[in-house]
Structure 1
Amino acid sequence: MRLSAALVLRLALAGLLVAFLTMPQRFAPLLRPLTQNDAPAIYAQGDLLGLTLQHLQTVAIATAAATLVAVLLAILVTRPGGRDFLPLSRSVVNVGQTFPPVAVLALAVPAVGFGEAPTLIALFLYGLLPIFENTMTGLTTLPPAVMEAARGTGMTNAQRLWRVELPLALPVILAGIRLSAIIGLATATIGSTVAARTLGEVIIAGLLSNNLAYIVQGGLIVAVLAVLISDAFGTAERFAARRAGQGGRKG
């Protein structure tokens, strides 16, 4: 089976990322021209692999929590008995977009202290809106003929939701989760300002020491992770669309 050029490129990118995280000193000659006054080219105040895994863990927890809440809210407001809650639900999920993440961090620190907790709160609030809106779109734009056929087979409301509506809406929901995860991946870097262990630690260290090599390696790791995660979600969306018989339906 022949691999596409895009897949080969992504695999090469993933391989380079793994190599850099596990053997960063091998790449020091490439980054040394970005340093001044014989400053170190590779961030050595913490383990890059450990920081990357902690960064991903923080984003994964926040995205999973946002997905659970946003999808449940979207299901609620698309049921006949829950439509009255749509304005309230929209107000809730818009909180993260109303306040910038830095402001959320500043408000959360006095309540929960420094560390990972305020970062999780900020990422959770910031990730709600795209998942909620995409789930709403997916559940309210289902083919009428399919829904009528499901009713005609005698399915209960719960059966239609789990067997028909959610599977058909899944590609659009996954697109919302992908957007939320990518936003969270970038936004998590500011968590290091409140002592969270993220890749922002590398970037901030570079800014404080005027070391461009630190800034570049921190930024590139986040950028490569974003590309790889986006690709993974894109593959999942296409697979879900084929399973649902939608071809290339997009959200």
Structure 2
Amino acid sequence: MSPRSIILRASALLLLATFIAAPQLFAFAFEPLTVNNAPAIYNQSSLLTLTVSHLRTVFLATLASTVLAIALAIFVTRPAGREFLPLSRSLMNIGQTFPPVAVLAIAVPLVGFGEKPTLIALFLYGLLPIFENTLTGLMEVSPRTLEAARGMGMNARQRLVQVELPLALPLILAGIRLSVIISLGTATIGSTVAAKGLGEVIIAGLQSNNVAFILQGGLVVALLAVLIHDGLGLAERMAARKLGRSADEVS
């Protein structure tokens, strides 16, 4: 990573942190977008609190998706589970088939309003990229490598933990990165079912015709997505470098 890129990313992170912590400092930039003396900065809740809630929802959903997707990918790549691979792929695709709004509509009568229906929607939506990338990573491990590990006396569990998963790690991280970015944007609709998050700012702007609010919510989500994308991308490249691969092989 070039010094210029590092400076740009550090500047973006500093700008985002300052705006979230003290948004009133930027009121002058948003005032031209308001009408009828409407507030330039969202004031119905703390922007910092909403950002933390948004990230918390995304983190919990991605964690649950990661655990299930990796566990299922491991199962269907073992001899005892290979016959379940087509069924597993079909189940993983269900989460991508239904729009998040439809999942929310189904989940609300079951679990009520708030964060829970949003978690369900993000969980289902995040399964497929992690599952497919983990599956690809595990299936790409060379049979010769596994045979060598077997020759060293490793049992099946040791081969999985010490050989297969480390070799598949760059692709697994790529799937997690994609899932996180999808969830960051999708989580904004959670505010339609009373979940705390940055979608609350956007929806408030739409309801009051306040472009400043819409822009604030959108910019924070966009900057978070860019920074998290870059951070996870860096982790992928580091993992790939340890395996002697190029960045293009795991993108």
Q: What TM-score range do you get, normalising by the shorter chain?
A: over 0.9
CA RMSD of aligned residues (A): 1.2
Partner of 1:125: 124
1:72 aligns with 2:71: yes
Alpha-carbon distance in 2 for matches of 1:61, 1:70 = 14
SS in 1 for 2:81: helix
Partner of 1:228: 227
Alpha-carbon distance in 2 for matches of 1:183, 1:37 = 36
- AA aligned to 2:165 is L
Partner of 1:175: 174
Please report how far the alpha carbon of residue 247 of structure 1 lies from its aligned counterpart in structure 2 after TM superposition.
4.2
Range that drifts further, 4-13 or 141-150: 141-150
1:135 aligns with 2:134: yes
Q: What is the correspondence of 1:28-67 to structure 2 with a 5 Å cutoff?
A: 28-67=27-66
Q: What is the correspondence of 1:149-164 to structure 2 with a 5 Å cutoff?
A: 149-164=148-163
Please report how far the alpha carbon of residue 144 of structure 1 lies from its aligned counterpart in structure 2 after TM superposition.
3.5
So what's the TM-score if we normalise by structure 2? Answer: 0.97
Partner of 1:9: 8
Partner of 2:217: 218
Alpha-carbon distance in 1 for matches of 2:245, 2:43 = 49
Please report how far the alpha carbon of residue 145 of structure 1 lies from its aligned counterpart in structure 2 after TM superposition.
3.2
Partner of 1:209: 208
Partner of 1:93: 92
Give the gaps of 5 or more residues in structure 2.
none
Moved over 4 A (4+): none
Partner of 2:187: 188
Alpha-carbon distance in 2 for matches of 1:188, 1:6 = 28
Alpha-carbon distance in 1 for matches of 2:80, 2:216 = 51
Alpha-carbon distance in 2 for matches of 1:228, 1:246 = 23
Q: For residues 85-113 of structure 1, what are the alpha-carbon distances to aligned partners after superposition, in whole Å with 9 as ceiling and x for unaligned?
A: 11221122111111100000000000000
Q: For residues 205-236 of structure 1, what are the alpha-carbon distances to aligned partners after superposition, in whole Å with 9 as ceiling and x for unaligned?
A: 00000000000010000000000110110111
SS in 2 for 1:81: coil
Range that drifts further, 57-66 or 231-240: 231-240
Alpha-carbon distance in 2 for matches of 1:3, 1:164 = 32
So what's the TM-score if we normalise by structure 1? Answer: 0.97
Alpha-carbon distance in 2 for matches of 1:212, 1:218 = 10
- AA aligned to 1:250 is V
Alpha-carbon distance in 1 for matches of 2:221, 2:20 = 12
Alpha-carbon distance in 2 for matches of 1:148, 1:174 = 26
Partner of 1:113: 112
Q: For residues 157-194 of structure 1, what are the alpha-carbon distances to aligned partners after superposition, in whole Å with 9 as ceiling and x for unaligned?
A: 11110000000000000000000000000000000000
Please report how far the alpha carbon of residue 154 of structure 1 lies from its aligned counterpart in structure 2 after TM superposition.
1.9
Alpha-carbon distance in 1 for matches of 2:238, 2:169 = 10
Q: For residues 45-85 of structure 1, what are the alpha-carbon distances to aligned partners after superposition, in whole Å with 9 as ceiling and x for unaligned?
A: 00000000000000000000000000000000011110011
Alpha-carbon distance in 2 for matches of 1:168, 1:34 = 51
